[in-house]
């Protein structure tokens, strides 16, 4: 017992002593390690070997390591036919060829480790770690550099494979792995090093299935029409535009559960020339309207029956859609013609003097009884008759125009029966308060486009700050375009210029099989349009030219007359 007590006392005192020592100060770390591991060349497999024979490659560093994302980071150019293995043992990275691998004759190989090799503590990657060897008598030393950008917005794209082929056939990108390749960095830049003097086909690919082949239409690509020639005396620096080919239009499904409307969903936005809807004639009245990647078929039948719709796409057999027999009576019991957005007692619709405003309804409109439509002005509610019509591009939209006066309250009044829709339903009483914005709440813009070529077609698009389309203007046969946009919302605008090579009024992507590049397109940002200002903006249709600027001015004092009654300050366009 005495021995046990003595042991317990001694142990307790030792623990208390250690705790006391530990509490005397707090341990703090030193400076954060930011230095990546350093290769020990003496302990590593010699780099830049010639007449290389297949062997295990060992790279030894000055500190303990970890490997990160080997599958994506470690790439070999030219690609190996078999899978390789990368492993780690303490401070050494081992690269091992598959026993079945046969290296090409007289070829310079590069093993690029990317950021796969990192230190153990702070994950600092070894930068530009490459192992180069040649199976021939010398190391190839030429280089091909460049940048890959998105064709549509010209932004750089990372992780794109840029590949060189010594086989110049068009089918090689689908059948063979490249001879040389590199991946783009964050800035879209690439550098293919240790290239031999030769002629190469150039192809860029976002490789979705990591097989170095263009075998999926959804993969983004870029290419040069003509091969490049790499010699000792020339520097090759390329710019490639990457794009996704337009997929073949496909019907993905339809919504036909409710009487009166069928929604056909496609894999992308369908163009008018790509499809045609026909149907059995059972006496139906119809209206067709495309919305994004869908086509809406509104219909009304004289009696309940089933019928077929045929969707024809290109030259393929049509899809036959059987529309079930649905109850028209039930539809009329549950549906009314009303605005798509509910009107509340406190809601006000923003309108501008001398500008159309619109109200969207839940069904396509057929007729207007203008005798039942009025705008009530000021506190006396004097009745005035606006210009009113159904939008020809969207029959669900009612367009209204009137020369409003500022600072006067208005109400739009639609009496019962003022509107009739496709089904014969009539609107009830609709009363909408209007909030008239003054001219000084908006700005005017004069847009001038110069340097167009008279023998080419263009599409000019004005975009707002959210890149929503404000207006689209096809142009041909002129070298200068000018248009005034009156009383438009303030903010930042941009102009997108499309050289419409096929004259279809829209931007078209490229096609590898047709060896066609995406249509030339670029965007110019304009100076900000401020309230009560007029913006004079001139941009050039020459992609390499800069926009021309006018003189900036300061906003007018708040006490000055409205914009339309006073001299207008001007702002210049911006590149």
CATH code of the domain containing 269: 2.60.40
Q: How far apart are CA 462 and CA 469, in angstroms?
A: 6
168 found inside a domain: yes
Query: Terminal CA-to-CA distance of the chain, rounded, Å?
Result: 94
The pLDDT-based confidence of 554 (bands split at 50, 70, 90) is: very low
What's the farthest any 2 CA atoms get from each other in the chain? 116
In this predicted structure, what is the pLDDT of residue 380?
Answer: 65
SS3 5: helix
Please say if the pLDDT value at position 527 is more than 90: yes
Nearest to 186 by CA among 156, 207, 206: 156
Q: How far apart are CA 511 and CA 246, in angstroms?
A: 8
Under 8 Å between Cβ of 444 and 487: yes
445 shares its domain with 560? yes
Structure letter (DSSP) for residue 137: S
pLDDT tens digit string along 392-420? 999 999 999 888 887 788 899 999 999 99
Q: How far apart are CA 460 and CA 506, in angstroms?
A: 10
SS3 419: strand
Alpha helices in 316-435 (DSSP H): 328-334
Structure letter (DSSP) for residue 493: -
Assign residue 91 the CATH number of its domain: 2.60.40.3710
123 found inside a domain: yes
Structure letter (DSSP) for residue 19: H
Final residue in a domain of this structure, among 215, 242, 269: 242
Could you write out the DSSP letters of every residue in 174-188?
HHS--SEEEE--TTS
pLDDT tens digit string along 419-446? 999 999 999 999 999 988 887 888 999 9
* Strand positions, DSSP E, 280-338: 285-291, 294-300, 307-313, 319-323
462 shares its domain with 562? yes
**For residue 219, what are the CA distances in angstroms to 208, 209, 243, 395?**
6, 9, 9, 38
324 shares its domain with 376? no
| 42: alpha, beta or left? (left if phi > 0; alpha if psi -120 to 50) | alpha
Assign residue 231 the CATH number of its domain: 2.60.40.10
Please say if the pLDDT value at position 9 is more than 70: no
171 shares its domain with 183? yes
| 305: alpha, beta or left? (left if phi > 0; alpha if psi -120 to 50) | beta
Please say if the pLDDT value at position 25 is more than 60: no
161 shares its domain with 211? yes
99 shares its domain with 151? no
In this predicted structure, what is the pLDDT of residue 256?
Answer: 96
26 found inside a domain: no
Residue with the two structure tokens 């219909």: 299
455 shares its domain with 561? yes
pLDDT tens digit string along 147-189? 999 999 999 999 999 999 999 999 999 999 899 989 999 999 9
SS3 288: strand
Q: How far apart are CA 80 and CA 95, in angstroms?
A: 13
> In 10 A of CB 187, how many CB atoms?
11
pLDDT tens digit string along 81-129? 899 999 999 999 999 999 999 999 999 999 989 889 999 989 999 988 9
Within 8 A by CB and 6+ apart from 253, the residues are 264, 265
**For residue 54, what are the CA distances in angstroms to 47, 94, 95, 104, 113?**
13, 13, 11, 11, 18
pLDDT tens digit string along 238-285? 999 999 999 888 899 999 999 999 999 999 889 888 889 999 999 999
Final residue in a domain of this structure, among 242, 260, 288: 242
Instruction: Give the chain's radius of gyration (CA, Å).
Output: 35
Under 8 Å between Cβ of 309 and 276: no
Q: How far apart are CA 288 and CA 279, in angstroms?
A: 12
545 found inside a domain: yes
- In this structure, the strands spanning 443-450 and 534-540 are parallel
Tokens read off for 391: 């939008």
Q: What is the residue range of 183's domain? A: 142-242
Assign residue 543 the CATH number of its domain: 2.60.40.1120
Under 8 Å between Cβ of 556 and 464: no
Could you write out the DSSP letters of every residue in 99-149?
TT--PPTT-EEEEE-TT-EEETTT-PBPTT-EEEEESSSS---EEEEEEEE
Nearest to 463 by CA among 441, 489, 496: 496
In this predicted structure, what is the pLDDT of residue 353?
Answer: 72
85 found inside a domain: yes
Overall average pLDDT of the 520-537 stretch:
93
> In 10 A of CB 432, how many CB atoms?
19
More confident residue, 545 or 146: 146
563 shares its domain with 453? yes
Task: Write down the mean pLDDT value for the chain.
Answer: 87
Overall average pLDDT of the 437-461 stretch:
92
75 shares its domain with 128? yes
In this predicted structure, what is the pLDDT of residue 172?
Answer: 96
392 shares its domain with 407? yes
Final residue in a domain of this structure, among 134, 165, 180: 134
Q: How far is CA 155 from the centre of its chain?
A: 10
314 found inside a domain: yes
Under 8 Å between Cβ of 95 and 56: yes
Under 8 Å between Cβ of 111 and 213: no
Write down the number of H helices and E strands in the chain: 4, 41
361 shares its domain with 468? no
24 found inside a domain: no
Proportion of the chain above pLDDT 90, given as a percent: 67
Helix or strand (DSSP H, E) at 2: helix 2-22
Overall average pLDDT of the 455-462 stretch:
95
199 shares its domain with 262? no
Q: How far apart are CA 560 and CA 543, in angstroms?
A: 40
How many structural domains is the chain composed of?
A: 5
16 found inside a domain: no
């Amino acid at each position: 017992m005495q021995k046990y007590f003595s042991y317990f006392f001694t142990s307790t005192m030792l623990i208390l002593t250690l705790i006391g020592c530990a509490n005397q100060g707090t341990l703090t770390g030193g400076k954060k390690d930011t230095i990546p591991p350093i290769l020990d060349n003496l302990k590593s497999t010699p780099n830049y070997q010639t007449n290389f024979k297949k062997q295990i490659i060992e790279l030894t560093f000055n500190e303990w390591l970890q490997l990160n994302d080997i599958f994506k980071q470690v790439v070999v150019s030219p690609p190996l036919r078999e899978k390789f293995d990368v492993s780690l043992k303490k401070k050494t990275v081992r690269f091992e060829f598959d026993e079945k691998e046969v290296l090409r004759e007289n070829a310079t190989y590069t093993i690029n480790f990317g950021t796969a090799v990192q230190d153990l503590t702070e994950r600092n990657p070894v930068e530009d770690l490459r192992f180069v060897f040649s199976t021939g008598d010398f190391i190839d030393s030429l280089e091909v550099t460049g940048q890959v950008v998105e064709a549509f917005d010209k932004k750089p794209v990372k992780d794109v494979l840029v590949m060189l082929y010594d086989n110049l056939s068009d089918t090689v990108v689908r059948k063979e792995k490249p001879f040389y390749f590199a991946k783009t960095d964050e800035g879209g830049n690439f550098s293919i090093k240790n290239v031999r003097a030769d002629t190469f086909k150039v192809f860029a690919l976002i490789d979705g299935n990591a097989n170095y082949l263009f075998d999926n239409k959804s993969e983004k690509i870029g290419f040069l029409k003509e091969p490049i020639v790499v010699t000792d005396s020339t520097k090759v620096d390329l710019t490639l535009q990457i794009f996704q080919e337009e997929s073949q239009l496909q019907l993905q499904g339809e919504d036909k559960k409710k009487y009166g409307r069928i929604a056909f969903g496609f894999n992308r936005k369908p163009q008018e020339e790509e499809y045609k809807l026909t149907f059995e004639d059972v006496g139906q009245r119809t209206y067709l309207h495309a919305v994004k990647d869908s086509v809406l078929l509104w219909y009304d039948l004289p009696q309940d029956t089933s019928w077929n719709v045929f969707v024809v796409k290109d030259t393929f057999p049509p899809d036959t859609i059987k529309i079930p027999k649905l109850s028209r009576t039930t539809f009329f019991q549950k549906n009314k013609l009303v605005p798509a957005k509910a009107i509340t007692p406190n809601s006000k619709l923003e309108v501008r003097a001398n500008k159309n405003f619109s109200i969207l309804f839940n069904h396509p409109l057929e007729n207007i009884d203008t005798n039942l439509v009025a705008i009530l002005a000021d506190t006396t509610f004097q009745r005035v008759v606006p210009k009113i019509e159904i939008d020809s591009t969207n029959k669900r939209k009612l367009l209204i125009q009137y020369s409003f006066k500022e600072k006067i309250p208005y109400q739009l009044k639609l009496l019962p029966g003022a509107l009739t829709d496709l089904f014969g339903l009539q609107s009830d009483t609709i009363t909408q308060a209007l909030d008239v914005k003054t001219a000084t709440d908006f700005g005017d813009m004069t847009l001038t486009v110069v340097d167009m070529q008279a023998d080419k077609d263009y599409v000019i698009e004005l975009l707002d700050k959210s890149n929503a389309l404000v207006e689209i203007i096809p142009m041909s046969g002129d070298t200068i375009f000018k248009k005034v946009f009156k009383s438009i919302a303030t903010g930042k605008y941009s102009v997108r210029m499309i050289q419409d090579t096929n004259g279809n009024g829209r931007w078209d992507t490229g096609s590898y099989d047709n060896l066609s590049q995406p249509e030339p397109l670029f965007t110019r940002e304009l100076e900000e349009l401020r309230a009560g200002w007029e913006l004079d903006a001139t941009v050039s249709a020459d992609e390499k030219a800069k926009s021309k600027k006018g003189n900036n001015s300061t906003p007018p004092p708040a006490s000055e007359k409205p914009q339309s009654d006073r001299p207008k300050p001007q702002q210049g366009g911006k590149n």
